[in-house]
Structures are given as C-alpha cells and as structure tokens.
Chains A and B, each alone.
Chain A
C-alpha cells in the first residue's frame, strides 16, 4: 500500500527549497515538538541559573537573609526585609487607590456611557497600558513629585498635624509618590481586563434582573459584579503582580534608601528597585549573589501571584484579555 504521504514529490513542482520545506508529517511534528521542548528547557535553565547564582547568599546568611533589616555591602551583611516590606507597601498603596477607581471605571466603561464613547475610550485605555514604565517614571519624578511636595504632602500633613502616617519631611519622592505612580500604571490593566469580564456576563441574567424592576445600579451591583467576581479578582491579582515587579518607575520616584520608610512621605526601596540600583555596581561576589537572591524571591512571588491570577480568570473562561488584548 502506498499512502499519499509516502509518494515522492511530483516532478516539476518547484525548486530545492520548496522540497526542503515540504517535510514529512513526522518531521514537521518533530520540529514543532523540539521548539516546545526548547521552551521548557529555557524555563528550566532560567530557574536553575537564578538558584545556582543566588545559592552562596542563601548558604551563607541562611534564614537571616529574609529576616534581617540590615543591607550593608561594606560589611558584607545582607538582609532583604526592608525591601520586601517596601515592595508590599508600595503595592498595597497602589491597590488601595487603583482597585475602587478601576472597578468603577470598568463599570462605567462597560455599562455607564454611550456606545459611541465606549468604542473610543475602551481601546484608548488599552493603548495607555502600553506606555512604557520609564515614561511614567520620568513624569512622576519631574512633574508629579514637585506637585506632591508642594500640594499633597502639606495638605495631608495639615490633617494629622504633622504626625504619622503623614509626618516627616515633605520632599515629594518617597513611598506615597511611588504608590500613586504605581496605581496610575496598573489602572489601565485592571480596567481593560475587568471591563472584558463584566461584558462577558450573560445578557439573559441582566435582562432577567431588569424584568424584575431592578435599576441599572442594582443590576450591576447584584448581578454583573457577583457573576464577574472571579475575573475581577484575577485582574486585580494580575495588577498586583505587575505592581510588585515594576522596576524603573519605582526606582525613579521612591528615593532609594536602605531603611524602612518612617511615614508615607519617607523614602525606602523595593526589591526591584534595589536590583536596578545596585546590580551593575556589585563587584563583591556576595553582593551579586545576594542581589540575585532578591531576584529569585521576586520570581517566586511573581509566579505565585500570576498562577493565582490565571487560575482565577481562567475559571471565568476569559483568556482573550491576556492573549493579545492587554500587554
């Protein structure tokens, strides 16, 4: 028996290149499989390289690498707690600002504005998600920081009479500014995905609620949001991951000091900004290993957060948003 696949190429159908590309089905599958396997190898090498390079730091400092607050390259002592807390603080501020505003904005984009506006504003928000972080950083440092120093910080300081959490010197850059810039940066991502999830809620459920006499707000509050809860949570988690890993914009506006922020106006550092600031200047081997250790920590946090986000959104069955819609 001669199957079609085993027939020799028809004569006169083309040159050598064409014949070369017309490989057998087995070879084609093999080639694609190899590419996929290479991808896996890449990921394995990725993790292995980081672990191997960070090992000296973990081996030498042990658990104190995570719990110590002293980061002192001169005396070869490395503890990351300050930066871990810095990352958590900036992310928390960003989420506290971005979550309510983002949800409201997504609701407005999905149901609260006329169709004509929606088709313009929807893609516009998605495009803004693509503005590079270094541009946010430049704007934050040169435009927002002076404004925060002269307007926001005096106003907030006035409320508490110069006490915590709005105490300390008002210099513009610091924890508060970093959190604000981060919230502006994650808003487009949050809004674009949440809006997609909200729009995916079945029309039947919405119409049913309207038929019972519910108002638009009641439909949104009681039907749409509960039904899209998983996706909104996923979008928030994804934005959290983005905020935690954000490097350059934070580096430009947080002040970069190696201690805890004494107040919201205080300066500190995040794990990502620490790496950006010190990596190319790390000459001593332990210093480099410690920085790579910080990177590994960031990787672990990012993977956990992202896995959670993907699983949450996947359960809603919306994958498009991550595939191409949003960067």
Chain B
C-alpha cells in the first residue's frame, strides 16, 4: 500500500484528475461554446450552397418547357429558343471523351493495381497531379494539338480530347482502388485452374471490381460534363445543330456561360434552365453512382 502511494505515475494521475475536476465547469462551458462555433461554421458552409441550389431550381424550372428541350436556339430578342443542339452536342462530346477515358483508364488502372515499385509509384503521383491541373491548361493542350495543328479548326473531337484527359485521372485512380479491393483468393483460384492472366482479369477481377469501376466512371463523367473552360477553347459553341466530330459544336456548359453574360432576359432565362438541367444530370450521376455501387456490393455479398 505504501509502495503504491509513492508511485509517481499514480500520483501524477491523481493530480491531473484533481485539476480536471476543479476546472471542469469552466472547461465544459468553453467546450460547448467552441462546438457551437463549429456548428455555426457548418451552417455558414451550407447556406450559400443551399441558396445556390434553390436559385437554380426556381429560376431554372421556370425556363423549362417542351420547347426548351426540343427547339434550337433563336437569335437574341426572339423568344422560344431551346437547347436541343446543346444537349446533343454535350452527349457527343462527353460520350466520345468517356469512351476513350474508360478504355484507357481501366487498362491503366489494371496496370497500376498489378504493379508496385518506383515506376508505378511515380505514375500514381503523376495521375494525382494531372487531376489537379487546371482545366484551362488542359484546354490549351487540346487546342495546340488538335485545333492549331491536327484538324485546323475548332471541333467536337478536340473538346472530347480535353474532357477525356480531365476524366482520365479520376477513372484511373478509382479503378486501381476497385481492382486492389478484389480479394486475391479469387484470382488465385483462377490461377489454380490454369487460367491465363488476361482471362482472370476479364472473367474474375473486372467483374468483381465492377461496383468501384462504375462509381469511378460516373464520377468522372459528372466531372467532365460540367467542365466549361476546355469547351471554350475547343468546341466554342454553335447556334446550329451538328453531330459532326470535326466541326464546332454546342454544349450545355457553354450555353450557360455565353447566355448568362448577356443582357437579354430570354437568353439569361435559357442559361438558368440549362444550369438546372446540368445540375440535375450531375447530381443524378453522383447519387446514382453511390446507390448503384452500394446495391452491387450488397448483391455480391448475398
């Protein structure tokens, strides 16, 4: 008993507890206030975001009509214009971009997942850095490669190239993570059956990694679909209907930007309507990817 009483650790602990109890009330008050401040920060963060969404929904919904989605743009001052050509244009640009980025990105993701060491590590870092390169810089690259040389004028394919590069790092890292998450026992079972690596990748690894792959692709498409700056330097927009990959083409983000900075109320209205359309598409992709991934995971576990 006497030995324990002089134990310095216990003595120190007792002292700390005494001080803690003595100052408890004051500290709890301060803690409560500080937590309140943190919660206030949460509210301050949410207010502008909620305000933004509210404005987009209210102003955008009033612009929506059948004609809005099915008509071509009209000159300023002529009411009744729509964004049909921009919807098709965005589908073409983002479709081509996604096709390229998915093929390339998943293959590169497989490579990253199966490799370790310095080369793969450097590649990973390069991918992450590419994800942080401003989209306007990627746009300059697409311009220099495909507009200034290559095709020699503004085109949908140049826009796809730029958007595809922006989608690429997201898909690469997401597929690497998804593929690494596949239990090694599955591929080892494949090897035990004498299957080749390509067969195992196609029949075992990729199907098992599917939920993660889909999430990555949808997030990448959501990111790509909202990009505006790259389109400004590559697709430049158009008042006409076009499906040609080698011609200038309209796109939803461009409609928002180009109409939004005009002084004509009907053009601004179209900008709000397009903004709501874009936000809905992107949030559906975002929420959808989460739900789909969760569902696929659940199915697999059952």
Contacts and interface: CB of A to CB of B under 8 A. Distances in A.
Asked if A and B are interacting partners, one says yes
Interface of A: 4-5, 7, 21-25, 27-29, 31-33, 35-36, 38-40, 42-43, 45-46, 49-50, 53, 100-105, 107-109, 112-113, 121, 123, 125, 127-128, 130-139, 141-143, 184, 187-188, 191, 212-218, 220-221, 238, 241-242, 244-248, 252, 272, 275-276, 279-280, 291-292, 295-296, 298-299, 302-303, 305-307, 309-310, 320, 322-324, 327
A170 B151 CA distance: 46
Contacts of B298: none
B239 to A, nearest CB: 16
A284 to B, nearest CB: 14
5 closest Cβ pairs, A-B complex: A245-B134, A132-B226, A104-B41, A213-B20, A306-B132
Given A101-B44, A217-B34, A22 B198 contact: yes
Contacts of B89: none
Contacts of A184: 48-49, 52
Contacts of A306: 128-129, 131-133
The CB with the most chain A CB atoms within 10 A, among B111, B137, B257, is that of: B137
A130 B223 contact: yes
Contact of B39 (A49, A113, A216): A113
A105 B45 contact: yes
Contact of A112 (B27, B38, B125, B140): B38
A5 B198 CA distance: 11
Given A212-B16, A241-B132, A247-B136, A112 B42 contact: yes
B256 A213 contact: no
Contact of B111 (A35, A133, A135): A35
Overall SS of chain B's interface:
helix
Overall SS of chain A's interface:
helix
A280 B229 contact: no
16 contacts: A39-B127, A43-B130, A104-B37, A105-B45, A131-B53, A134-B260, A135-B56, A143-B51, A184-B49, A212-B16, A245-B135, A247-B134, A252-B261, A299-B134, A303-B132, A305-B132
A159 B107 CA distance: 59
Contacts of B127: 39
Interface residues of B, number: 103
B177 interface: yes
Given A50-B141, A100-B41, A134 B223 contact: no
A302 B132 contact: yes
A28 B187 CA distance: 15
B131 A188 contact: no
B257 A280 contact: no
B39 A108 contact: yes
Given A36-B108, A132-B227, 20 more contacts: A21-B202, A28-B196, A35-B104, A53-B148, A105-B44, A123-B290, A134-B253, A134-B256, A138-B272, A139-B55, A139-B56, A184-B49, A184-B52, A217-B32, A238-B132, A245-B133, A247-B136, A279-B233, A307-B125, A327-B219
Interface string B41-82: 110111011011101100000000000000000000000000
A35 B129 CA distance: 18
Contact of B123 (A40, A113, A238, A296): A40
B145 A49 contact: yes
Interface string B191-205: 000101111011000
